[in-house]
Structures are given as C-alpha cells and as structure tokens.
C-alpha cells in the first residue's frame, strides 16, 4: 500500500511539473528562420525581430544583386528558411527561379509588391516595370516593417506582440531618420547633379535632389557614345554642378566627363551600401551616408578639379 501511495504521489508531482513547464517550453521555442536578400532589407528585418532572433543575409558585402551565382550552402539556407524577405524579381531575377526550384516560393514576401509601397517606373517609358530600388525611400521602409511584422506573426504567432512593437519602434526611428537626412541635404537645394546610374531615383524624389541625368541606365550597361556626348555638352554649358561616381566601381567615365570643366567629381555610396557592415543599423547608416555624399556637392559646386 505504501509503495502504491508513493507511486501515486510521484505521478501527481510529474504531472504538475509537466503542466507548469509547458508554457516555458512554448516560450523557449526557437524563432523562425528568416532570410533577407540584401543588406537594407536584412537591416529592417533585424529591427522587427529584435529580442527574438536574427535574420540571415543572402547577399553579403560586394555581391551584385542583379547577377549572382548561388553556392550550395546558400541554397540550403533558402530551403530551410521559414520566411524570406526580398525586394522582388525586378532586382534579383535569378532568385525567383531558385525559389521555385527549391519549393520556397510560398515562403517568400516580395516587398516591392507589398500593398502601400510607393513605386517609380524604371527608365524605358510607359511600359517599363517598377524601379526596384524602392528601399531608398524611408517611407517604403516604414510600410515594409509592418508587412514584416505580419509575416513573422503568421509563422510565429507566440511572438506577435513583440514583432508589432518592434515594427512600431522601427517606424518611429525611420521618421527621425527622414528628418535627419532632410536636414543634412538642406544646403544642397536644387543643385543639378549627375549620378553614375539610375539607382537613386527614390532617394532623389523623397528628398528633392535634382538629378538631371545618369551616366548609364544601370550598373551593368555602359552608356553609348551619343549619350556621353550629350552629357559632356550639358556639363560644359555649366548646367551640372557635380558628377557622382559610385564607390566600388570604375570612375573612369565620370572622370572623362568632368575633365576640363568646373563640375566637381565626388564619390557616392552604392544603393545597397556594400561598404557598410550589415546589421540593424545598416539602413540608417546607408541613408545618412547618401545624404552626406550628396550634401558635399553644396560645398564643391563650381570648383574646378
């Protein structure tokens, strides 16, 4: 009889302990595996996931999002991800095919096509698709962190409140960032500038930067001789204060356009911020670096090389 009582007590204690630990086990469930395509998207996702886990970054520093050769280890990360945040096939056309092949398409969120995103058309007329560099408008980033919180809540409903609170905090931070960027650019006014390629239109629209031309349509396509002559004539006529060459790319075309003119030749961070370490602070650092680079034209305009 005594042994029966001891057994019964042990069963009751075990059941109570199991019941008490059940919520703890639920809380201790690992966060979802999240993958972001480029560093600015990774930065926003990291802010929304703060305190719960860290997203993985697919395209690290120096990787070209337009043309990329996927490694087997990266394919595994894609296949194992619970959620994938990406700009869209307009930026990474190769990734769309990879997602289909790996059966990960349904787990991908295309931010460029998220409701509320403010879009610009890419160069090429009325039939052109959207310009994919939409992350350079901080108001788009504000829309996206809400979509990220919603997507994360679907795969991890236990942390829904945390994701929502983090998204709200990120939006406050983005509003402050927009004000800081505008303040740094105030002295630039409507100074006319040329950029190396058409990847800065969203930033220019949001902060009223007067980009009068781009040396090339994209980072991958060099300009023709006729276009270069047209740019040179514009510069020689005094209608351009600064020519921006993209950091990490050959500045030769910009140098040839600026040679012998009063246009200043200045460096500009690339739209993805390849030189900026990835992480939750990357997005803010990128936009402030762009603001400082464009603002430098206010002091350099009219000074010969």
So what's the pLDDT on residue 127? Answer: 55
154-187: pLDDT as tens digits: 999 999 999 999 999 999 999 999 999 999 999 9
Task: Compute the distance between CA of residue 63 and CA of residue 11 in angstroms, rounded to an integer.
Answer: 58
Domains of the chain in sequence order:
34-182 (3.40.50.1980), 188-300 (3.40.50.1980)
pTM recorded for the entire structure:
0.86
Task: Compute the distance between CA of residue 189 and CA of residue 181 in angstroms, rounded to an integer.
Answer: 13
200-223: pLDDT as tens digits: 999 999 999 999 999 987 655 778
117-136: pLDDT as tens digits: 999 998 755 557 899 999 99
Residue 130: strand pairing partners: 121
DSSP codes of every residue in 77-134: HHHH-SEEEE--TTT-HHHHHHHHHTT-GGGEEEGGGSTT----BPSSSTT--B-S-G
23-51: pLDDT as tens digits: 443 455 788 999 999 999 999 999 999 99
124 CB-near residues (< 8 Å, 6+ apart): none
Please say whether the beta carbons of 81 and 56 come within 8 A. Answer: yes
DSSP state for residue 218 in the 8-state scheme: B
So what's the pLDDT on residue 71? Answer: 80
Task: Compute the distance between CA of residue 133 and CA of residue 205 in angstroms, rounded to an integer.
Answer: 12
Task: Compute the distance between CA of residue 234 and CA of residue 230 in angstroms, rounded to an integer.
Answer: 6
Please say whether the beta carbons of 142 and 175 come within 8 A. Answer: yes
């Amino acid at each position: 009889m005594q042994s029966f009582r001891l057994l019964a007590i042990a069963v009751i204690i075990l059941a109570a302990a199991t019941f008490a630990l059940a919520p703890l086990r639920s809380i201790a469930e690992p966060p979802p595996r999240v993958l972001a395509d480029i560093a600015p998207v990774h930065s926003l996702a990291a802010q929304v996931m703060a305190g719960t886990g860290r997203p993985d970054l697919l395209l690290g520093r120096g990787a070209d999002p337009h043309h990329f050769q996927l490694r087997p280890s990266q394919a595994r990360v894609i296949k194992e991800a619970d959620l994938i945040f990406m700009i869209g096939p307009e930026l990474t056309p190769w990734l769309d095919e990879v997602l289909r092949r790996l059966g990960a398409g349904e787990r991908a969120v295309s931010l460029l096509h998220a409701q509320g995103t403010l879009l610009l058309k890419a160069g090429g007329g009325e039939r052109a698709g959207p310009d994919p560099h939409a992350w350079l408008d901080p108001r788009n980033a504000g829309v996206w962190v809400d979509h990220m919180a919603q997507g994360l809540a679907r795969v991890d409903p236990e942390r829904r409140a945390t994701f929502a609170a983090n998204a709200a905090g990120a939006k406050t931070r983005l509003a402050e960032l927009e004000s800081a960027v505008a303040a740094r650019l105030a002295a630039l006014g409507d100074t006319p500038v040329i950029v190396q390629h058409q990847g800065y239109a969203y930033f220019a629209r949001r902060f009223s930067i007067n980009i009068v031309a781009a040396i090339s349509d994209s980072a991958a396509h060099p300009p023709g001789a006729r276009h270069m002559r047209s740019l040179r004539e514009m510069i020689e006529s005094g209608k351009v204060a600064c020519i921006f060459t993209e950091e990490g790319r050959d500045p030769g075309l910009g140098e040839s356009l600026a040679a012998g003119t009063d246009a200043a030749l200045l460096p500009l961070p690339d739209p993805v911020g390849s030189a900026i370490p990835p992480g939750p602070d990357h997005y803010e650092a990128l936009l402030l670096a762009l603001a400082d680079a464009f603002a430098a034209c206010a002091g350099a305009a009219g000074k010969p090389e």
